[in-house]
Structures are given as structure tokens and as C-alpha cells.
């Protein structure tokens, strides 16, 4: 008896009405004992779905050249490593290797607790693995795109005849195959969906893709405002993000130096880790603002929420954001947020109403925005209240999980064979 026939005979091929819907999350982003913050944007919706009656299993994965990670009680997951060549060169084939690594484990889970939907995060390698596993076990899958590098070009233009260019073309081809095979491709912003649709509609790759937008949601209880009488008196800018050039830390430091004479007591707290930390510390010293800037490293979720409540303004002039959870979290804390136009967050922020938008890489506009907000407590409070209301109306975890639940039910309700037929070319 074939595996598909066995599943049909035992009733595992279709979701039953007498049991909770079982969703298997397959993700490279998830909290662990080694880093309790990374992947919280995946873990928090999973937790809320579990509390809403879904049966949720998580398999969190990392390449074999990464150190072993371990599950934590607040975000339980089955952590495993899979073979992959280091760097991006091996990413196009990593999904096959991951699927082979997962097959026995997923099959056992499926037999014990029938899986109705696989939710993969990112096309490579998890989406590719989900497509292969889904075809083998007759389980529909959905895939979420979290970044602007939708087709895994890795934000670099290569000569198509070079080894790097060929590798990028392979990654793009596999990504396109994954999106066309998925029951639904979930985009975290309209900007991401536009990139996806524009390429999927191109003459060189004429295929059908079902996509929808589900923005990341915020826990409005964890990320809540200070009581009015506890508003901080000291002016402080907060930056939360990986210490990379694209996040705009240098722009913030230069703006702070420009404003030093006008706001001599202004401080800047920078939360996060990254490869450019030493460069930014050196820049702060060179600009003469070393004592005003605090590099505090990684904080817990509660620590980030507390830092957001304490700050006067949240600033992250990033030039490469599909959406940006930290903006939403700061808005939920009723703080005025400064972000860049042309990023996913400008679909949420209305300039001057519930936030502040500046052009990318515009130090003068950033300085002016910080100055205007610091000069008017009334404006900060008004924008902060509107920001909080924006989150409560449409961007909480409850909003996100309700949308995900509807997608899962729709995916699980379709005929598995027809839903997965398009995956047959994924060898």
C-alpha cells in the first residue's frame, strides 16, 4: 500500500471535524536557549494559535555548520540541523537536504497526530522542504515571506555568467517554484506582495500564485504605554535593530551630533547586536557623543518593552524593511516613531498623524524630525496616542492570528491532491 493510500485509509489525508486543526510550523527563525529573542515574530503567533484551540507543532532548523540550539519552555520547538554548504551558494539545494532530514520525523508526527497544514517561513530552505514533504505526505503548505529579498537574490546584482550569478539564478528559480506550489504565499506587507506579483507575472515565468497580506501583530499588553504620570522627563532616543549599515545607525549618530548644542541632555539608547557594533561605537566617540550613546546589546522582550516605554522617540531610519516589528511595538507603547519612506512601514504610518516619515539616508530630515518632536511634548503625546490606536484597531496578535487561522482552514479544506499537483516539478 502506498503512503498516500495509507493516509487516505486512516483518514489522515483530510482534516477531521472532531479534532483541532494541526499546523506544523517549519522555520529557521525561533527563540532558543541560546537566543530567546530571535524569531519571536514566529513564536508569538504560534503560542496564541495554540491558546485559540489549534494544535501547533514547531520544527526549527539551522544549517549543520551552526552550533546546536535548544528549545525553551516559553517557545517549545524540535530543533535540528541539516547539511548545507556555508553561505548562499548552497541555499538552492538546501531545501532538498532539509526535506530528507525531516521526512522520517514529519512522517512519524503525521501518523501520530495528523498534520493538516505545513506553514513554512521563507522560501529557502523551509518553503522548498515544505513543498517536497507536502507532496510526499499529501499535506498542503503555505509559506510566509518576511523580507524584501523575495527571490533570494541576496540584494546583490551579479554577472549572470559568474558562479555567483548562476547561484542567484538557481535560488530564484527554486523560490518561484515554491511560491507557485504553495496553497498561499503570505506577505507581511503590500510592498512585499508587489515585489512577488511583479516577478510572478513576468513573461519569463508565467505561473499562478495565490498570495495575501498578513502583517505582523503586536501583543498590546506587553507593549503598552506608561501611565500618564510616569512619562519620562529625560529626553531619550531609542534605536532597536541589528547593528548593520542598512538599519541607519550611522544616520542616527550623526543626527545626534548635529543636535548636541540644541539638546545637550539628549541621550540615545541602542539595543541590538551585530557585526558593525565596533564601527558605530568608534563613530560615536569620533563625533564627540560617546557619553550620550549607550550600546546596551540584546535585551529580553520585556526589556525591549520597558526601553520603549522609557524613551521619548523611537528612531530606526532603515533602508531595507519589509515591515519592521519594532516600529509596531514602539507604536503600541504610544511612542512617536521615525521611519523611512518607501519601506513597508509607510503603509502603516501617516506622516505627522501616527508617526514621522523621512526620505532614506536623509540626515537633515532626520535631525529636523527629531528636533520637532523633542520640542513639542503635545505633538509627541498626540502622535503616540494615534500610533497606539492604529495598533489596537488592526495590528495586534489577535488580528494576525485570526487571519492565519482563516488561511489554515482554507488550505486544509481543499483537496490535497489538487492543491499539491503543482509541486510535482519540485524534484
Q: What is the pLDDT of residues 375-416, one digit of tens each?
A: 999 999 999 999 999 999 999 999 999 999 999 999 999 434
Do residues 194 and 260 share a domain?
A: no
The confidence band for 229, taking pLDDT boundaries of 50, 70 and 90, is: low
User: What cell was used for 246?
Assistant: 542598512
Do residues 294 and 206 share a domain?
A: no
Identify the domain containing residue 387 by its residue range: 228-395
**Is the residue at 223 inside a domain?**
no
CATH code where residue 281 lies: 3.40.50.2000
**Is the residue at 222 inside a domain?**
no
Max mean pLDDT range (84-93, 222-231, 407-416): 84-93
Give yes or no for a cis peptide into 125 (omega within 30° of 0): yes
Largest CA distance in the chain: 79
Residue owning grid cell 532616543: 237
According to the model, what pLDDT value does residue 8 have? 35
Average pLDDT value for residue range 300-322: 97
The confidence band for 423, taking pLDDT boundaries of 50, 70 and 90, is: very low
Which one, of 153, 165, 147, 151, lies nearest residue 197 by Cα? 151
| Paired residues of 78 in beta bridges | 59
How many Å apart are CA 296 and CA 214, to the nearest integer? 32
pTM: 0.90
**Is the residue at 250 inside a domain?**
yes
Number of domains in the chain: 2
User: What cell was used for 117?
Assistant: 497544514
Do residues 83 and 197 share a domain?
A: yes
Do residues 291 and 148 share a domain?
A: no
Average pLDDT value for residue range 35-45: 97
Amino acid at each position: 500500500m502506498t503512503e498516500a493510500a495509507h493516509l487516505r485509509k486512516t483518514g489522515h489525508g483530510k482534516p477531521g471535524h472532531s479534532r483541532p486543526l494541526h499546523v506544523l510550523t517549519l522555520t529557521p527563525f525561533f527563540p532558543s536557549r541560546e537566543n530567546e529573542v530571535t524569531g519571536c515574530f514566529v513564536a508569538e503567533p504560534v503560542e496564541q494559535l495554540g491558546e485559540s484551540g489549534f494544535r501547533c507543532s514547531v520544527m526549527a532548523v539551522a544549517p549543520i555548520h551552526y552550533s546546536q540550539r535548544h528549545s525553551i519552555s516559553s517557545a517549545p520547538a524540535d530543533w535540528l540541523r541539516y547539511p548545507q554548504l556555508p553561505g548562499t551558494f548552497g541555499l538552492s539545494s538546501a531545501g532538498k537536504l532539509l526535506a530528507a532530514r525531516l521526512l522520517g520525523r514529519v512522517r512519524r508526527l503525521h501518523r501520530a497526530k495528523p498534520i493538516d497544514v505545513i506553514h513554512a517561513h521563507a522560501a529557502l530552505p523551509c518553503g522548498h522542504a515544505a513543498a517536497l514533504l507536502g507532496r510526499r505526505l499529501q499535506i498542503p503548505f503555505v509559506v510566509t515571506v518576511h523580507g524584501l529579498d523575495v527571490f533570494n537574490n541576496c540584494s546583490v546584482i551579479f554577472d549572470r555568467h559568474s558562479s555567483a550569478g548562476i547561484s542567484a539564478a538557481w535560488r530564484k528559480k527554486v523560490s518561484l517554484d515554491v511560491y507557485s506550489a504553495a496553497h498561499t504565499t503570505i506577505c507581511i506587507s503590500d510592498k512585499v506582495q508587489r515585489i512577488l506579483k511583479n516577478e510572478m507575472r513576468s513573461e519569463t515565468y508565467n505561473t499562478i500564485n495565490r498570495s495575501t497580506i498578513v502583517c505582523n501583530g503586536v501583543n498590546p499588553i506587553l507593549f503598552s504605554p506608561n501611565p500618564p504620570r510616569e512619562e519620562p522627563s529625560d529626553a531619550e532616543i531609542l534605536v532597536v535593530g541589528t547593528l548593520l549599515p542598512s538599519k541607519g545607525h550611522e544616520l542616527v549618530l550623526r543626527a545626534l551630533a548635529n543636535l548636541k548644542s540644541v539638546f545637550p541632555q539628549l541621550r540615545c539608547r541602542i539595543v541590538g547586536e551585530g557585526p558593525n557594533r565596533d564601527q558605530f561605537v568608534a563613530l560615536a566617540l569620533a563625533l564627540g557623543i560617546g557619553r550620550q550613546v549607550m550600546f546596551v546589546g540584546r535585551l529580553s522582550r520585556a526589556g525591549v518593552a520597558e526601553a520603549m516605554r522609557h524613551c521619548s522617540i523611537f528612531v530606526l531610519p532603515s533602508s531595507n524593511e519589509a515591515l519592521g516589528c519594532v516600529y509596531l511595538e514602539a507604536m503600541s507603547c504610544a511612542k512617536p516613531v521615525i521611519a523611512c519612506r518607501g519601506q513597508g512601514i509607510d503603509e502603516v504610518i501617516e506622516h505627522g498623524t501616527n508617526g514621522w516619515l523621512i526620505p532614506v539616508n536623509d540626515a537633515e530630515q532626520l535631525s529636523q524630525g527629531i528636533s520637532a518632536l523633542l520640542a513639542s511634548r503635545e505633538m509627541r503625546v498626540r502622535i503616540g496616542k494615534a500610533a497606539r490606536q492604529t495598533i489596537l484597531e488592526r495590528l495586534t496578535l489577535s488580528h494576525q492570528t485570526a487571519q492565519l487561522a482563516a488561511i489554515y482552514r482554507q488550505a486544509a479544506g481543499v483537496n490535497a491532491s489538487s492543491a499539491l499537483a503543482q509541486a510535482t516539478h519540485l524534484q
